Amino acid sequence: MAFDTIIKSGRVVTATDSYVADVGIAEGRITAIGQDLPQQNAAKVVNANGKLVFPGGVDVHTHLDMPFGGTTSADDFETGTRAAAFGGTTTLIDFAIQYKGQPLRKAFDTWMAKASGKAVSDYAFHCIVTDVSGGQLQEMNSLVSEGVTSFKLFMAYPGVFMLDDASIFRALQTTAKNGGLVCMHAENGSAIDVIVQQALAEGKKAPKYHALTRPTTAEAEATARAIALAEMAGAPIYIVHLTCNDALEKVREARDRGLPVYAETCPQYLYLSIENFDVPGFEGAKYVFTPPLREKWHQEKLWNGLKCDHLQVVSTDHCPFCFKEQKELGRDDFTKIPNGGPGIEHRMSLIYSGGVAQGRFSANRFVELVSTTPAKLFGLYPRKGTIAAGSDADLVIFDPKRKHTISAKTHHMRVDYSMFEGIEVTGMPDLVLSRGQVLIDGDKFLGRAGQGKFLRRSTYSQVNG
């Protein structure tokens, strides 16, 4: 048996197993896992002794090159996938946006053109649906057959992205039939809008009012409503960027009843809190994203939710805007601050560090949260999300002891600040491979723009039964 590469003597960690072995790679796939694979048959041997070997990270929530809030997110598909790779993430699912009145096809074509020739690692798309008054429900079926098998709907941002309950229900009925999955932005946008207008009328315009006008109750109410609509439609549902215990309780209750309800949280909600707004002047704009940061006590509830499988996925919601000139658009009015934060690069290390190194959960659970479950829910498994014969050789050789202090001075995202500035993590990727090709070796990027491929995904129901 001939190999292009053997990863030798690392501790292979999947969602279920952990053992020392060699991993043999040929033509971009894993072709053998075993003891003492024959090195004379390998073009290259990488010594992983003392290191962990993880499947490449799968981040199912990113916004690259996305027009939003009067500007465009600062990372495109080249800089974003490159920064992701530095952190061990080798597959992204980004969002193609259907604007009101447009066919879904236009969204898909537009985002395919943004990624093509740029992405350094593999990518797929969800489609954001903002209008179902034309033939869009039928179009959801066509997109599913082309590998776009999930759809993001909004219960917030009235007048921009928000859908009414009838439209949401019809979209859920559509995925119940075609096997796809709805991802829900769950906040009560109508109530929030009233609170926002009242705050502005009272002259409350600083960045922290973005958070103070979006209560946890608005998130919990919408989460419960989304779950109820999905239950009535007979559809599974995936709640995106869950931030607080109130919403977590709604998900937990639904799962206890056996409903196919899933939720993700993001590193910012595990590491940051409303206290981050206690900074001088306009600096708080760095933490303006939606849903907002919460009181600190929610963090431990979310970590516990990850441990106990009340939450199934950690994604980033990477939506970077530079402080200068982009966040500054809202200097005089928090509603004009483009919503979003940069996080694509540090997800794996932040979750390994806070989860495994700090003893909250096992390395297997870490792999499940950042790679295996996202790949399963979104129709990429077993090609992505595990280390098995036949899977793509997307691998991370991870040093569980290496410490790193996160800083905008050293990160690779195209943005002029870090949400996690000064936080020290334990555990960093040494080597990152995408389909057998080395993308990252230490601090060197060895990939090239355009080598990433579009992934046609299976449906939720094809993979999850």
Q: Which stretch binds Zn ion (CB under 5 A): 252-260, 301-309, 314-322, 421-429?
A: 314-322
Least gap, CB of 327 to Zn ion (angstroms):
17
Least gap, CB of 419 to ligand URP (angstroms):
12
Please tell me the number of Cα atoms within 13 Å of 37 on its side-chain side: 29
Task: Give the gyration radius of the chain's Cα atoms.
Answer: 21
Does the protein bind Zn ion through residue 187 (CB under 5 A)? no
Asked whether 447 and 439 are in contact (CB, 8 A), the reply is yes
Does the protein bind ligand URP through residue 118 (CB under 6 A)? no
Q: Note the residue count of the chain.
A: 465
Does the protein bind Zn ion through residue 317 (CB under 5 A)? yes
- Measured in whole angstroms, the distance separating CA 102 from the mean position of its chain's CA atoms is 26
Here's the x/- map for ligand URP, 183-222, by CB under 6 A: it reads as --x-------------------------------------
Here's the x/- map for ligand URP, 145-184, by CB under 6 A: it reads as ----------------------------------------
Does the protein bind Zn ion through residue 347 (CB under 5 A)? no
Exposed, middle or buried, 162 (CB in 10 Å: 0-12/13-18/19+)?
buried
Least gap, CB of 239 to ligand URP (angstroms):
12
Q: Which stretch binds Zn ion (CB under 5 A): 7-15, 41-49, 242-250, 311-319?
A: 311-319
Query: Looking at residue 460, what DSSP letter applies?
Result: H
Decide whether 221 or 317 has the Cβ nearer to ligand URP.
317
Decide whether 68 or 86 has the Cβ nearer to Zn ion.
68
Does the protein bind ligand URP through residue 340 (CB under 6 A)? yes
Q: Could you say which of ligand URP, Zn ion, none residue 289 binds, taking C-beta under 5 to 8 angstroms by partner kind?
A: ligand URP
Decide whether 128 or 431 has the Cβ nearer to Zn ion.
128
Does the protein bind ligand URP through residue 290 (CB under 6 A)? yes
Asked whether 119 and 452 are in contact (CB, 8 A), the reply is yes
Decide whether 266 or 425 has the Cβ nearer to Zn ion.
266
Contacting residue, 150, 312, 339, 371, with ligand URP by CB under 6 A: 339
Does the protein bind ligand URP through residue 436 (CB under 6 A)? no
HEC secondary structure over 157-219: CCCCCECCHHHHHHHHHHHHHHCCEEEEECCCHHHHHHHHHHHHHCCCCCCHHHHHCCCHHHH
Asked whether 72 and 66 are in contact (CB, 8 A), the reply is yes
Does the protein bind ligand URP through residue 319 (CB under 6 A)? yes
Q: What is the identity of the amino acid at 23? A: V
Q: How many residues of this chain interact with ligand URP, rule: CB under 6 A?
A: 9
Task: DSSP for 234-291, please give it.
Answer: T--EEE-S--SHHHHHHHHHHHHTT--EEEEE-HHHHH--GGGG-SSTTGGGGG--SS
* Among 104, 426, 373, 400, CA closest to 263: 373
Does the protein bind ligand URP through residue 98 (CB under 6 A)? no
Least gap, CB of 395 to ligand URP (angstroms):
29
Does the protein bind Zn ion through residue 346 (CB under 5 A)? no
Which residue has 């549902």 as its token pair? 237
Window 35-74: residues binding ligand URP (CB under 6 A):
63
Does the protein bind ligand URP through residue 317 (CB under 6 A)? yes
State the sign of the Cα–Cα–Cα–Cα dihedral 365, 366, 369, 371. Answer: negative
Q: Which stretch binds Zn ion (CB under 5 A): 178-186, 211-219, 248-256, 303-311?
A: 178-186
325: Cβ contacts below 8 Å, ≥ 6 apart: none
Least gap, CB of 152 to Zn ion (angstroms):
7
CB closest to Zn ion, residue no: 185
d(Cα 334, Cα 200) in Å, to the nearest integer? 9
* Among 102, 113, 114, CA closest to 64: 114
Does the protein bind Zn ion through residue 185 (CB under 5 A)? yes
d(Cα 150, Cα 148) in Å, to the nearest integer? 6
Instruction: Determine how many CB atoms are found less than 10 A away from the CB of residue 443.
Output: 8
Does the protein bind ligand URP through residue 347 (CB under 6 A)? no
Q: How many residues of this chain interact with Zn ion, rule: CB under 5 A?
A: 2
Q: Residues in the site for Zn ion, rule: CB under 5 A?
A: 185, 317
Q: Residues in the site for ligand URP, rule: CB under 6 A?
A: 63, 185, 241, 289-290, 317, 319, 339-340
